[in-house]
Amino acid sequence: MRPFQYARPDSLDHATQLTAPEDTMAIAGGTNLIDLMKLQVETPQELIDINRLTMGEIADTDDGGLRIGALATNTATAAHDRVRSDYPLLARAILAGATQQLRNKATTGGNLCQRTRCYYFTNIDQPCNKRDPGSGCGAIKGIARLHAILGTSNHCIATYPGDMAVAMAALDAQVLITREGEKERTVPVRDFHRLPGDTPEKDNVLEAGEIITGVTLPAPVEGKQIYRKVRERSSYAFALVSVAAVVAMTDGRISRANLAFGGIAHKPWHDPRLSELLVGETPSAAVFDKAADLLLEDAQGYGENDFKIPLTRRALAATLADATGVEL
């Protein structure tokens, strides 16, 4: 860990001032940032501790939704009464991630900014375009077990590792972002994370000096909410593939299918075409297969992660079967 200056702002405005310079980072729970600072993957010269700002509130919004403060811990969010009753998908996704110790520290904002677990990213003696632009990608010709099958580029095949944001993408949540002297801006979770393209160093659309203040969930909608996570251990492992689903049925036909996927792309993967394809259909194995065909039509494996293509197909079918009551 490089030496750094440690500071604590006394207001949100102050925080956005302090975090504006390059080489400055905000720290909340620290469960990802401190990990990466020890490895010198992250080397901020100034660390702005925003934990004492009052951004941990979880409150109803005027339109019947829920606003989750950026500093609300994962534990607090998953245990919140309305999250449990109206957004069980979010509670389930959070509870499927990490451990209680980590969730007690991890925050909404920090979790959104969680960086990839790519082995080449976390090893500073290996090439990685995300960590060190222009140095190459070690994973493409290396061990790509954890890696993406959709939306990759020649520069990066890393995945976004989290669970919470995958659920938020299915729930069509909005990220609230503020910067000094400007009005809060709103970015859909679905657009918050980026694809790597030729700038894989940028995980998301957050600019220097911007701070996430919270996430809003729209008013709850009808439908069954399911989070299915496939992993190598029964707990405490990142997703090989995960599926977040909000699926409703009307008169035997699918009337809503909001789906998002984890573990397969540089961002929580949301393909709006799936909803278009599924809504109005009578659920069946063949329909689920068609959805998987569409989802995976551009999927590309990198050897070690080829299995994610059939695994995603099967996880999707299982989730849709569960949601619609179809026996497979």
Partner 1 sequence: MKQDQPATDCKLDQMSQDLLGKPIARSEGLAKVTGTAPYAAEYPVDNCLEGVLVTAPFARGTVTDIDTQACLAMDGVVAVVEDERMTARAAQGTAGEAPVQQPRTVCYWGQPIALVVAETFEQARDAAKHLVISFDADDLDDVAFDPNAVDPENKESTSQGDLTRAMNEASSNVDARLTTSGHASAAMEPHAAIAEWDGSKLTVYASLQMLNYNIAELADAVDLEEDDVRLISRYVGGGFGSKLGISEETVAAAIAAMQLERPVRVVMSRQQVFQCIMRRSETTQRLRLASGDDGALTGFGHYALVSNLPGEEFAEPVLQSSQFLYAGENRLLEMDVARVHRMTAGSVRAPGEAVGMPALEVAMDMLAEEAGVDPVELRLRNIPENHPVEGTPFSSHKLAECLKQGAEAFNWDSGKRKPRHTKDGEWWIGTGMASAARVHNVSEAKARVTLKADGTAMVETDMTDIGTGTYTILGQVAGEMLGLPRDKVLVELGDTQFPRGSGSGGSWGAASVGSAVFVACQALRKKLAERAGVSEDELSLKDGAISGGTSLVDLLDGKDLAEEGHYEPGDIDEDFVAAGFGAYFAQVRVNRFTGETRVERMTGAFGFGRVLNEKTARSQCIGGMTWSIGVALTEALHFDPVDGHLVNCDLAEYHVPVHRDVPDLDVIMVEERDPAASPIQAKGIGELGMCGGAAAIANAIYNACGARVMDFPMTPDRVLAAMPYD
Partner 2 sequence: MMKLEFIVPITINNTAHPLPDDPRTSLLDFLRRDCGLTGTKKGCDHGQCGACTVIVNGQRINSCLSLAVMHDGDSVTTIEGLGTPDAPSPMQKAFLEHDGFQCGYCTPGQICSATAMLQEIANNMPSDASESLDGPIKPTPEEIRERMSGNLCRCGAYANIIAAISEVAEGDAA
Note the residues at the interface with partner 2 (CB under 8 A): 1, 3-8, 18, 27, 30-31, 34-35, 38, 46-47, 49, 51, 75, 78-79, 84-85, 88, 91-92, 95-96, 98-102, 104-105, 233-236
126 binds partner 1 (CB under 8 A): yes
Q: What would the two tokens of residue 283 be?
A: 């659920």
Q: Which of 34, 143, 187, 195 touches partner 1 by CB under 8 A?
A: 143
Residue 59, beta-bridge partner list: 67
Closest separation between CB of residue 11 and partner 2, Å?
A: 15
> Which of 6, 11, 21, 38 is in the footprint of partner 1 by CB under 8 A?
38
Minimum distance from residue 236 beta carbon to partner 2 (Å): 5
Residue 141 neighbours by CB under 8 Å, 6+ apart: none
Question: Which residues, 6+ apart, have CB-to-CB distance to 186 below 8 Å?
Answer: 174, 175, 176, 177, 216
Shortest distance, position 131 Cβ to partner 2, whole Å = 16
Q: What's the chain's length in residues?
A: 328
Q: 10 Å Cβ neighbour count for 55?
A: 24
Cβ atoms of 92 and 170 closer than 8 Å: no
Asked if 125 interacts with partner 1 (CB under 8 A), we say yes
Pairing of strands 211-217, 174-178: antiparallel
85 binds, options partner 2, partner 1, none, Cβ within 5 to 8 A by partner type: partner 2
Q: Could you tell me which stretch among 18-26, 139-147, 194-202, 218-226 binds partner 1 (CB under 8 A)?
A: 139-147
Q: Does 273 bind partner 1 (CB under 8 A)?
A: no
Q: Binding segment for partner 1 among 46-54, 147-155, 169-177, 236-244 (CB under 8 A)?
A: 236-244
Check residue 160 for interaction with partner 1 (CB under 8 A). Answer: no
Q: How far is the CB of 67 from partner 1 (least distance, A)?
A: 32
Looking at this protein, which amino acid is placed at residue 193?
H
Please identify which residue in 3, 10, 134, 181 interacts with partner 1, judged by CB under 8 A. Answer: 3
DSSP 137: B
Q: How far apart are CB 173 and partner 2 at their closest, in Å?
A: 18
Residue 75 touches which member of partner 2, partner 1, none, C-beta under 5-8 Å by kind: partner 2
> For residue 309, what are its two tokens?
């293509």
DSSP 152-179: -BTTB------SHHHHHHHTT-EEEEE-
Choosing from 1, 59, 208, 221, the residue that interacts with partner 1 (CB under 8 A) is: 1
How does DSSP classify residue 58?
E
| Rg from Cα positions in the chain | 19
Helices (H), the chain: 12-18, 33-38, 74-79, 81-86, 88-95, 100-105, 108-112, 164-170, 189-192, 272-278, 285-295, 308-324
Burial (CB < 10 A; 0-12, 13-18, 19+), residue 205, is middle
Among partner 2, partner 1, none, what binds residue 123 when CB lies within 5 to 8 Å by partner kind?
partner 1
Q: Which does 224 bind (CB under 5 to 8 A by kind): partner 2, partner 1, none?
A: none
**Two tokens at 107?**
């925050």
Q: How far is CA 178 from the centre of its chain?
A: 20
Q: What are phi and psi of 262, to 5 degrees?
A: -115, 160
Q: Does 142 bind partner 1 (CB under 8 A)?
A: yes
Considering the complex, state which of residue 79 and residue 326 has its C-beta at the smaller distance from partner 2: 79
Q: Is residue 230 within the footprint of partner 1 (CB under 8 A)?
A: yes
Amino acid at 305: N
For residue 120, the partner it binds in partner 1, partner 2, none, with Cβ less than 5 to 8 A by kind, is partner 1
Q: Which residues bind partner 1 (CB under 8 A)?
A: 1-3, 38, 40, 117, 119-120, 123-126, 138, 141-143, 145-146, 230-238, 240, 307, 310-311, 314-315, 317-318, 328
